[in-house]
Amino acid sequence: MRPAGSVIPGRPAVLIMAKAPRPGVVKTRLHPMLGPDGCAALAEQLIRHTASVAAGVGGVTVFAAVDPPDALGEVSGLVPGSVRLLRQRGANLGERLATATSEVLGRGQRPVVVVGTDAPTLTGNGSLRRSASLPAAAAWCSALPAMVATTWWG
């Protein structure tokens, strides 16, 4: 297991919200087409892709907030060694997003770009790089949902 570790305050961050690729739990709407094991394999590849793209963006610190909290070991083998792992905490997705974002902001990271893993077309040269390069004064947090449309909070 790899804990969050030290960070460089004031540096932009990418926060990946990652659900452990466990059969029967992830991508359940795709079960009729892929089955539980196929859905878990897809989720694993999406985590690998998102983490790899984020880690390839220069000048940012990358975090992965993992759900469930006991899955840090499972996810640590799927992401580059530079990615800092956090446990997701909260009763629902909104609380888990808020808690993970607050934790990264509390470490002095600015701005924070929050991404899910459902963006197979995500590239480091597009919205992710542009969002991470914004000055902290412009926005303290952005979210890049699957359609890679940017929403600004703050």
CA distance 23 to 52: 23
Return phi, psi of residue 64, to 5°.
Answer: -125, 120
Nearest to 117 by CA among 31, 36, 59, 43: 43
State in words which class domain 13-153 has: alpha beta
Q: Which residues pair with 62 in a beta bridge?
A: 14
- Sites in the chain below the pLDDT cut of 50: 1, 136-154
CA distance 36 to 27: 8
- At 146 the pLDDT is 41
Q: Which residues pair with 85 in a beta bridge?
A: 64
pLDDT per position as a tens digit, 87-129: 999 999 999 999 999 999 999 888 888 999 987 777 766 656 5
- At 120 the pLDDT is 79
- At 122 the pLDDT is 77
Contacts of 82 (CB under 8 A, 6+ apart): 55, 62
Q: DSSP letter string over 52-98? A: HHHHTSTT-EEEEEEESGGGHHHHHTTS-TTPEEEE--SSSHHHHHH
- At 150 the pLDDT is 37
Break the chain into its structural domains and give their ranges: 13-153
- At 15 the pLDDT is 94
Token pair for 116: 């899910």
- At 133 the pLDDT is 56
CA distance 49 to 85: 16
Question: How many Cβ atoms are within 10 Å of 136's Cβ, its own excluded?
Answer: 15
